[in-house]
A = this chain, B = another copy of it.
Amino acid sequence: MTTPGDREPVRHLFPLRWNDNDQYGHMNNTVYYEAMDTAVNAWMIREAGLEPAGEVIGLCAASRCRFLEAASFPEELEVDIAVERLGRTSLTWDLAILRRGAPDRIGPLALGSFTHVFVDRAARRPVPIPESVRAAVSARLTVATGS
């Protein structure tokens, strides 16, 4: 188990798009989930060897978000990536949506959680988290609680 602050923050840049703003003139709530889904998949593909066309894929089993501050196009956001729980077949991400360049998680726009269950592509039954993902998570991300 590690504690927050042991690692360099891991961030994913998420520039807003024109059509992310809904008729209330701010980023729609669903876009925060796009940001979370995008950030963790990009990180797994780039840093942890996930192959979206491969035999083991990660499906979303649950997610949640608290929306604290509004944002609006053309702002650029960042997703701060940490891990809430690294299990045997599932991984729960602990995510914060921040304005670009925010030094830490103080004053986040939103706080979210996103659980991936790893499954084999054909049968879609749970399988152990790929070793490359487990190793990269353990080495580079802040993990709140071990398995």
Interface residues of A (CB under 8 A from B): 13-15, 17-19, 21-25, 28-31, 33-34, 37-38, 41-42, 45-46, 52-53, 57, 59-67, 70, 73-74, 124
- Assess the A33–B22 pair: CB atoms within 8 A: no
Set of chain B residues within 8 Å of A28, measured between Cβ atoms: 18-19, 37
Question: Are B61 and A66 in contact, CB atoms less than 8 angstroms apart?
Answer: yes
Instruction: Please measure, in the bound complex, the distance between the C-alpha atom of A93 and the C-alpha atom of B131, giving whole angstroms.
Output: 39
Q: Is the CB of B22 within 8 A of A19?
A: yes
Tell me which of B13, B22, B30, B70 contacts A23 (CB under 8 A): B22
Task: Using A15-B13, A28-B37, A37-B19 as known contacts, say yes or no to A65 and B66 having CB atoms under 8 A apart.
Answer: no
Most chain B CB atoms below 10 A, which of A30, A60, A61, A65: A30
Residues of chain B with a CB closer than 8 A to A60's CB: 29, 67
Complex: how many Å from CA A67 to CA B119?
Answer: 14
Q: Provide the bound-state CA to CA distance between A62 and B68, in Å.
A: 9
